[in-house]
Amino acid sequence: MDYIDYYKILGLSKSATEKDIKNAYRKLARKYHPDLNPNDKEAERKFKEVNEANEVLSNPENRKKYDQYGKDWKHAEQFEKAKQNQQQQRQHRTYQGGGQSFNESDFSDFFASMFGSAGSRQGGQSVRFRGQDFHAELHLNLKDVYTTHKRTLTVNDKNIRITIPAGVANGQEIKIKGHGGPGINGGPGGDLYIKFLIENHPTFKRVKDDLYTTVDLNLYTALLGGDITIDTFDGKVKIKVKLETQNNTKVKLKGKGFPVYKKEGEFGDLYVTYQLKLPTALTEKEKELFAELAKLR
């Protein structure tokens, strides 16, 4: 746990007036407010810092203690009495927005050691807010989301069984109603948001509902045509290779791609790119025959 320079966080000097503090706080709060910076964890962190700095410096009593004892925070027991007084005045408020959420009680250890887990908040309207929305990430591989299946997750010591619909997209979020934090000041409870992070498969790449893959094609099948069998998520599929197929030729297998989210029976397409593999370690006889072929050209 390190000493935190609250003046530096607000970009102020120790001689800053109350008005300077208020102005600096408002300016930085507008800059880093989670509602204005959706999905930005760095902004969320800075907003917490700015709030904490303001909690201390905007309260003359806290500021005095901080100026006097800040660097000796390890002797925090000296503030125990003050802490007890403050605990009676605690007021928590939850900020949420754009996929971000946090509670003001989430102060640094440094702050907690000097002022208790939450400092006193002066004034302000006691607005009732819905409980904190919880956000969780679930890492899945591509094969996992090819079919609809159920999973049991443990969130905040509670087991929740969820259905993961086939075709869910990378980065997509689903909302589980009522599994967030309790309401603040009598507000309704929050929700749980689960974000799916899907890794691409080693041989299949997904773009929306379509899949892309590359398969090796030997020289003879490429030249003379024929049948090859390839693996798909739906099992093995036989493809007819056309006569004189060129390297990097792309063919579309309609309906063999990824299931379309929440549209049962609908699938994207599978695009197969042929990668020509030339024979190596030719025998004398093969060399002779290729030389003969070359002469014909």
Which residues are at the interface with another protein (CB under 8 A)?
Answer: 26, 29-30, 33, 35-36, 38-39, 95-98, 125-130, 170-171, 185-188, 200, 205-208, 212
Q: Minimum CB separation from another protein for residue 225, in Å?
A: 28
Burial 156-167 (b: 16+ CB within 10 A, else e): eeeeeebebbbb
Q: Minimum CB separation from another protein for residue 276, in Å?
A: 19
In terms of CB distance, is 114 or 272 closer to another protein? 272
In terms of CB distance, is 114 or 142 closer to another protein? 142
Q: Minimum CB separation from another protein for residue 69, in Å?
A: 30
In terms of CB distance, is 78 or 185 closer to another protein? 185
Q: Minimum CB separation from another protein for residue 173, in Å?
A: 12
The Cα–Cα gap between 213 and 231 comes to 10
Q: Minimum CB separation from another protein for residue 213, in Å?
A: 10
The CB-based long-range contact list for 95-98 (8 Å cut-off, 24+ gap) reads 95/33, 95/34, 95/35, 95/47, 96/34, 96/35, 96/129, 96/130, 96/132, 96/133, 96/190, 97/33, 97/34, 97/35, 97/36, 97/38, 98/34, 98/35, 98/36, 98/37, 98/38, 98/39
In terms of CB distance, is 68 or 126 closer to another protein? 126
In terms of CB distance, is 104 or 113 closer to another protein? 104
